[in-house]
């Protein structure tokens, strides 16, 4: 190493492939050693300086991240310099001694507590062999404070600070955590210069993949529930921290080596469980919450006992030490609620949850709806049809404006929840505004439909479609637009921005949040479409626009609006969302399988959650049932085939036997018929001479009767004479 070049520092992290371990490791791997020692003022000055200027104080290099994996089959994270597959404690101790900072996280896996306490003890015995001073950091949880009594019983709202750590009382299920904390702090008192130990009481972690709160993010994202559950009353205060802010706390401890050894890692928020879930629901889910009994939390397979304990904790904590001593570039100092937009974006990016938006265009009868349904099934998208959008919107508006009955139970509940304050008032105010707006919109829709024989003006259709596409389910998973918009003007009105800015760009400004990403145009000749409709069963055609008169009219209208200079496809071309054309007539595919394969290839992989355990179980059970049914069918067909073959063989044998008898009879008759001339010849020419020969043979009695008889016949043959 060149003179003056500072060496890197090595940090050990357990379980680099876990949620918290991965986030901390990735953050620290990008940190320069000693960077947090700069004051905030110095950082701001450095940011304002020209790029050619650099800090005069030399930095010590970067942190190198090494550690273990929770699953042996996991791949090494890209940020890790090394990962260890440890087979013995002696081997692990050797790796720990090579590191400057050892971090053990026990917030995710309680089984790591025993290893963490052993590690700090083993390192303590090797102090004399340390090449450089070492730091041991135990990342614990605020659950070791869950049953702590307030310092002032008359004012329980006063938050706990780090100075109260000797009075902390743990949740009954977290006794091992507080014992580990005491164990770690004890060894830091022996030789502080060579071996410093710290305990970090981490709040409930969120950010990126969301940790414990992922359960609620997933419910909201999937849009399968009308409300996100809140277990219990939801009035309990939950200390939280963004997982990257937790990593920044660890960075500061490694850089500063503070004199205080028990540190809170919580943000400045004072949010209740209900406020957190309400915020998640509003920004990624249905917008509503539902209070359910605490026991319902155990009905979910995705929540462990530890998760439930954390969600029901009630603590107010203030991290005084972080504010007074550390230099943290906060990601979410104000908490999840204040930074929800950023948190939601991180959540989507980290889990690859991106909306997939498709528009399908084509003439009537070409199969748009059938193909749209198949795409929705494959990608788990929402099928958007004009008739459904109108009927659903009207039903929703009527429900909003309908008078609400208030019974005694509701009054009692309002009294019980009256302390919720601003949240309840805000909801009532929004609801009042919604009723007035819904009344006005509903009246306009009904009037428009009455004046247009049941049809709705474009201005209302477009407004309803905009609301639908901006709804959380469509913004989360995505959608398949089935045949709407139909014209250039409809597409432009649907996707235009509320506040259009003048621009010199060739591409028009449009609302990218609701705009489709893929445009698919199905094409077919009129003759093909007519033949397809003619061959449809009467039961399918009845009550649809596929009746002869309505279909021909719809087809003519489609051709007219798609032969102009400004068509809906032209509009998407202008936005550089170029259509993907599929000629349906080239596919001899009534079930659209080949067309669907073409579209899946064009659109790509799904961007949603994979199958849940229940869905996998259902599919596996269905596959097993289908396999058994298929095997049973094949067995029945085989048995039937064998029976038929046996019957056929028996019938064939009978017929063959009968035929053989007839052949034998015919042969016998033929032989007999062929023998008549020979018999006649023998009787006329041979038999008289033969009889005479036999008579002479009997008289003479020669030694060789046969030879005598042959000689006699030869001599007396009439032909010889």
Buried b (16+ CB within 10 A) or exposed e, 306-344: bbbbbbbbebebbbebbeeebbbeebbbebbbbbbeebb
State residue 714's pLDDT score. 81
SS (H, E, C) 684-697: HHHHHHHHHHHHHH
Using DSSP, state whether 547 is helix, strand or coil: coil
Q: Let me know how many helices (H) and strands (E) the chain has, helices first.
A: 26, 16
Matching fold, domains 354-381+477-607 and 613-715: no
Percent of the chain with pLDDT over 90: 48
| In contact, 191 and 7? CB cutoff 8 Å | no
Which of 103-107, 270-274, 505-509, 653-657 shows the lowest per-residue confidence on average (mean pLDDT)?
505-509
Per-residue CA distances from 684 to 481, 678, 681 (Å): 108, 10, 5
Q: For domain 9-44+56-207+240-269+316-332, give the CATH number.
A: 3.40.50.720
State residue 47's pLDDT score. 46
Residue range 71-91, pLDDT digits in tens: 888 889 999 999 998 889 999
Q: What is the DSSP letter of 459?
A: H
Measure CA 506 to chain center: 37
Q: Before 495, cis peptide (omega within 30)?
A: no
Nearest to 379 by CA among 543, 602, 556, 566: 602
Confidence of residue 176 (pLDDT cuts 50, 70, 90): very high
Answer whether residue 418 shows pLDDT above 60.
Answer: no
Higher pLDDT, 539 or 54: 539
613-715 CATH choice from 3.30.450.20, 1.10.150.130, 3.30.470.10, 1.20.890.10: 1.20.890.10
**Domain locations along the chain:** 9-44+56-207+240-269+316-332, 354-381+477-607, 400-468, 613-715
* Alpha-carbon Rg for the chain in angstroms: 44
The token pair that represents 380 in the structure block: 């788990």
Q: For residue 14, how many other CB atoms are within 10 A of its CB? A: 24
Nearest to 309 by CA among 247, 217, 200, 236: 236
Count of residues in the chain: 721
| In contact, 271 and 237? CB cutoff 8 Å | yes
Please state the rounded mean pLDDT for residues 301-313.
Answer: 93
State residue 719's pLDDT score. 64
Confidence of residue 142 (pLDDT cuts 50, 70, 90): very high
The token pair that represents 560 in the structure block: 């007219």
Answer whether residue 422 shows pLDDT above 80.
Answer: no
Answer whether residue 645 shows pLDDT above 80.
Answer: yes
Q: Are strands 356-361 and 228-231 parallel, antiparallel or unpaired?
A: unpaired
Using DSSP, state whether 480 is helix, strand or coil: strand
The token pair that represents 63 in the structure block: 């942190």
- Domain range 354-381+477-607, CATH class: alpha beta
Range list of H helices, 562-612: 568-574, 593-603
Residue range 29-75, pLDDT digits in tens: 999 988 888 764 444 444 444 433 333 343 458 899 999 999 888 88
Burial class (CB in 10 A: 0-12, 13-18, 19+), 704: exposed
Using DSSP, state whether 58 is helix, strand or coil: coil
Per-residue CA distances from 531 to 245, 369, 553, 559 (Å): 65, 18, 16, 17
Q: The whole model's pTM is what?
A: 0.76
């Amino acid at each position: 190493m060149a003179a003056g070049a500072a060496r890197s520092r090595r940090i050990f992290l357990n379980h680099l492939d876990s949620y918290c371990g991965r986030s901390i490791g990735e953050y620290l791997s990008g940190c320069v050693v000693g960077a947090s020692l700069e004051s905030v003022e110095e950082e701001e000055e450095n940011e304002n300086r020209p790029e050619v200027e650099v800090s005069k104080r030399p930095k010590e290099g970067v942190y190198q991240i090494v550690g273990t994996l929770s699953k042996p089959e996991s791949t090494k994270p890209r940020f890790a310099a090394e990962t260890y597959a440890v087979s013995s404690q002696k081997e692990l101790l050797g790796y720990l001694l090579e590191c400057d900072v050892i971090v053990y996280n026990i917030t995710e896996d309680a089984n790591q507590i025993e290893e963490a306490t052993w590690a700090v003890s083993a390192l303590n015995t090797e102090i004399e062999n340390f090449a450089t001073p070492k730091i041991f950091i135990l990342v614990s949880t605020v659950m070791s404070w869950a049953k702590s009594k307030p310092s002032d019983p008359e004012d329980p709202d006063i938050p706990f600070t780090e100075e109260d750590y000797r009075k902390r009382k743990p949740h009954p299920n977290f006794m091992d955590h507080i014992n580990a904390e005491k164990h770690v702090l004890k060894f830091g008192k022996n030789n502080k210069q060579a071996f410093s130990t710290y305990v970090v009481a981490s709040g409930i972690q969120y950010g990126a993949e969301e940790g414990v709160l992922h359960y609620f993010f997933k419910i909201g994202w999937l849009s399968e529930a009308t409300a996100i559950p809140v277990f219990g009353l939801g009035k309990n205060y939950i200390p939280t921290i963004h997982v990257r802010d937790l990593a920044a706390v660890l960075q500061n401890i490694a850089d500063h080596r503070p004199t205080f050894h028990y540190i809170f890692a919580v943000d400045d928020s004072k949010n209740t469980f209900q406020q957190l879930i309400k915020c998640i629901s509003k920004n990624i889910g249905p917008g509503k919450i539902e209070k359910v009994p605490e026991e319902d939390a155990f009905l979910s397979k995705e929540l462990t006992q530890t998760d439930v304990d954390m969600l029901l904790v009630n603590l107010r904590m203030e991290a005084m030490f972080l504010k007074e001593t550390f230099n943290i570039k906060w990601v979410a100092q104000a908490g999840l609620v204040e930074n929800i937009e950023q948190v939601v974006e991180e959540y989507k990016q980290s889990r690859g949850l991106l909306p997939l938006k498709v528009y399908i265009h084509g003439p009537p009868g070409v199969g748009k709806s059938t193909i749209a349904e198949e795409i929705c099934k494959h990608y788990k998208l929402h099928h958007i049809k004009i008739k459904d959008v109108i009927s659903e919107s009207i039903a929703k508006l009527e429900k909003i404006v309908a008078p609400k009955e208030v019974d005694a139970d509701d009054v009692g509940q309002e009294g019980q929840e009256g302390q919720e304050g601003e949240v309840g008032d805000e909801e009532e105010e929004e609801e009042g505004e919604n009723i007035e707006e819904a009344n006005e919109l509903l009246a306009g829709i009904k009037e428009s439909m009455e004046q247009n024989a049941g049809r709705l003006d474009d201005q209302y259709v477009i407004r309803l479609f905009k609301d639908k596409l901006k709804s959380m389910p469509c913004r989360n998973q995505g959608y398949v637009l089935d045949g709407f918009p139909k014209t250039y003007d409809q597409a432009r009105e649907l996707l235009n921005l509320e506040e259009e800015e003048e621009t010199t760009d060739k591409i028009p400004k449009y609302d990218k949040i609701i705009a489709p990403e893929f445009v698919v145009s199905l094409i077919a000749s009129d003759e093909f479409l007519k033949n397809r409709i003619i061959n449809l069963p009467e039961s399918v055609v009845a009550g649809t626009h596929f009746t002869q008169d309505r279909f021909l009219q719809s087809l003519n209208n489609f051709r007219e609006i798609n032969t102009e200079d400004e068509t809906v496809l032209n509009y998407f071309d202008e936005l550089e969302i170029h259509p993907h054309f599929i000629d349906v007539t080239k596919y001899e595919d009534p079930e659209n399988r080949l067309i669907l394969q073409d579209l899946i290839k064009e659109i790509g992989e799904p961007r949603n959650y994979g199958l849940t355990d229940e869905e996998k179980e259902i599919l596996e059970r269905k596959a097993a049932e289908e396999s058994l049914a298929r095997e049973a069918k094949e067995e029945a067909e085989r048995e039937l085939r064998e029976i038929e073959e046996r019957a056929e063989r028996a019938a064939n044998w009978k017929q063959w036997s009968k035929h053989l008898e007839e052949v034998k009879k015919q042969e016998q008759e033929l032989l007999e018929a062929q023998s008549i001339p020979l018999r006649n010849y023998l009787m006329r020419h041979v038999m008289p001479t033969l009889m005479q020969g036999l008579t002479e043979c009997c008289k003479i009695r020669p030694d060789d009767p046969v030879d005598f008889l042959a000689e006699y016949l030869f001599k007396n043959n009439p032909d010889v004479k």
